[in-house]
A and B are shown apart, each in its own frame.
Chain A
Amino acid sequence: MSHAQTLSLIDVRLDRYDQGGAPVRLLDIDSLVIPAGLKIGIAGPSGAGKTTLLDISSGLLTPTTGRVTWGDNQISGLRAGADALWRRLTLGFIFQDFHLLPELSVLDNILLPAWFGSFRAPIELQGRARELASRLRLPDMDRPAGVLSRGEQQRVAIARALLHDAALIIADEPTANLDAVNGAEIINLLITEAERRKATLLVATHDAALLARLDQVIHLKDGRIGVVP
């Protein structure tokens, strides 16, 4: 069981300084507080700042001003190394392009985050990887990830994100590269797995079917939060 906490972004601004021009404000959020275990969708047109919001929430980007916190931990401004540890143990990242290592097996891809911290994956993580694989219908764990179908690849990516029992699952367009059938399956898996561990789910997506399954949808436009229904 994960220990989700409140994710809050307070007075977060992100500016990009281009050579010779005035700074461009990519993100401008006065206050966004997401209670533990909530499933949040981030919608909006391309370039609205959806991915930027995810990157800031995951600590990959440091805001120009403002604070990002996870419970009592300030994510923005964690030391190098500490931020990696936080991401490894707390965060589950799911990408639009899956980003598996095609040369490694399904099992090794799922176990990948374990090797960032220890030489041998602990027995319990190996057990969890197998359990995740069977729950996500990936029976042949020795197949190289490169030969899997897109739907299977995204299932492996979800299993990889959940290896450390993530409390915060961040998914960037997880269904954009999938057909309707596979997309629907991935939506089910994401919702089920997030609910199973009461994890906070943050999904940037255009997929109406996915947005419909979430607790709340944040609409972003030009880096600002619009309507919160």
Chain B
Amino acid sequence: MNPFPILLADLRSMRFSAVFMIILIGIAVAIGVAVGAQERALRQASSRAAADFPLLVGAPSSQTQLVLTTVYLQPEALPLMEGGILNALLRDPGVADAAPLAYGDVVMGYPVIGTTTGFVTRWGRVAPTEGRIFEKEGEAVVGADVALPIGQSIRPSHAIAGHQSMPGVQDEEEDNRRHATRIVIVGRLPATNSPWDRAILIPVESVWETHGLGDGHAAGVGDGRIGPPFADTAPGLPAIVVKPRSVAAAYQLRAQYRRNGTMALFPAEVLTSLYQTVGDIRDLLMVAAAANNILVLLAIMLLLVTLAMLRRKRYAVLRALGATRTYIYLAVWLTSSTLVAAGCILGVALGWGGAVWLSALITARTGLTLQPTPGLEEALMCLSMIVIGGLMSLVVAVFATRGSVVQCLRS
């Protein structure tokens, strides 16, 4: 038997309500898919961005803020710790490398961060795609998304905590806070898909000197030299990123630097608790979306039963012409299931599209590159919708074939 001509005829006969039903199911499914895909993308992108920051040391304050400011470059004033800690860390046998992160300046909305070549190359993992790493004060390396050419001379301005201007756009306010220091861009880093793609990296000595704090090296030791070792009296620092030699060393350092005016943390642990909160919200939204889906399905099924009852005479004619009850049953079930399945597929597309759109917004705001893809969970949700819709369609088919042919013909 071939029920598809009946399916086609039925779909055509209710084309407006069919389109309406598909869209309705599509929107319901899309919400769940978008929430799931978006949350996963956020988790993946944020943990990827944190990979370059094994251990962070900062002055005691909010752990979350330290992570947000160092890893995601959220402009916020962090309390400073003694600069000598950097040297102490560099001398520690458990430390493979440590780099200061000095924030506070900005050029055209791009944050300017003072650090060492060790962190610029991510401990030797990355090389500039263009130009070279800075070799002396007054030179800068920019992130992949900084729209400034190599060779361009820039003058950093003082940033305002909590204020984030559009990257790449000259903020008039910046002029009023401009430092005298001139810096030349000498290189560009490959994309890391993190907010650091919008950062301008300069030697930490330049940051200190710009603010009149000296160069952080012991007096008379190699003038103009940059990088470690630093003086034990180096100016204060908001954050130090540490690359421990081993897991054991990492835990030891974390314990050791949790006292005497410092705090140490693995960004991963802060992210885990953040993910837990985000995950709870996501779970709540998913439950709401699932309940929503069931309600929409129920309403659709009610509509389908009504429409099938209206077409009972048509089905009775087919049976009078020699169609079996099974044939009608199959045709009605297929029609109804097709609508649900089409709605679900539309929902995945809409949800994915929505998540991509939302991700683009988040990327534009934060520089964190999100790549949402529907995962197993959304696929399962969509599949279970199709299965539930298929089961409910059995009921629709029962209503369509209920009663004798003669009763239906004369109705």
B218 proximal to A (CB < 8 A): no
Query: B residues bordering A, Cβ < 8 Å?
Result: 1-6, 8-10, 12-13, 313-314, 317-327, 404-406, 409-410
In the bound complex, what is the Cα–Cα distance between A86 and B2 (angstroms)? Answer: 18
In the bound complex, what is the Cα–Cα distance between A117 and B326 (angstroms)? Answer: 11
Taking A85-B324, A87-B320, A160-B321 as known contacts, 18 extra A-B pairs with beta carbons closer than 8 A to each other, sorted by chain A number, are A60-B405, A61-B404, A84-B322, A84-B323, A84-B327, A85-B322, A87-B322, A91-B322, A99-B317, A101-B5, A104-B5, A104-B8, A112-B318, A113-B321, A113-B322, A116-B1, A116-B318, A119-B1
In order of increasing CB-CB distance, the 9 nearest A-B pairs are A88-B322, A103-B12, A115-B2, A87-B322, A99-B317, A103-B9, A84-B324, A119-B2, A116-B323
CB nearest to A161 among chain B residues: B321
Query: A residues bordering B, Cβ < 8 Å?
Result: 51, 55, 58, 60-61, 80-81, 84-89, 91, 93, 95, 99, 101-104, 108, 112-113, 115-120, 160-161, 164
B324 contacts which of A81, A89, A93, A161 (Cβ < 8 Å)?
Answer: A81
Q: Which A residues are in CB contact (< 8 Å) with B406?
A: 55, 60-61
Q: Which B residues are in CB contact (< 8 Å) with A55?
A: 406
Q: Which A residues are in CB contact (< 8 Å) with B318?
A: 112, 116
Q: Which B residues are in CB contact (< 8 Å) with A108?
A: 5
A117 and B320 form a contact (CB under 8 A) = no
Tell me, rounded to whole Å, the shortest Cβ–Cβ distance linking A180 to chain B.
Answer: 26
Tell me, rounded to whole Å, the shortest Cβ–Cβ distance linking A188 to chain B.
Answer: 23
Q: Which A residues are in CB contact (< 8 Å) with B409?
A: 60
Q: Which A residues are in CB contact (< 8 Å) with B320?
A: 58, 60, 87, 93
Q: Which A residues are in CB contact (< 8 Å) with B1?
A: 115-119
With A95-B317, A101-B9, A103-B13 known as contacts, the answer to whether A118 contacts B322 (CB < 8 A) is: no
Tell me, rounded to whole Å, the shortest Cβ–Cβ distance linking B398 to chain A.
Answer: 15
Tell me, rounded to whole Å, the shortest Cβ–Cβ distance linking B361 to chain A.
Answer: 43
Q: Which B residues are in CB contact (< 8 Å) with A115?
A: 1-6
List 28 A-B residue pairs with CB atoms under 8 Å apart, sorted by A's residue number. Answer: A51-B410, A60-B406, A61-B404, A80-B324, A80-B325, A81-B326, A84-B322, A84-B324, A84-B325, A87-B322, A91-B322, A99-B314, A99-B317, A103-B9, A103-B13, A104-B8, A104-B9, A113-B321, A113-B323, A115-B1, A115-B3, A115-B4, A116-B324, A116-B327, A117-B1, A118-B1, A118-B2, A164-B322
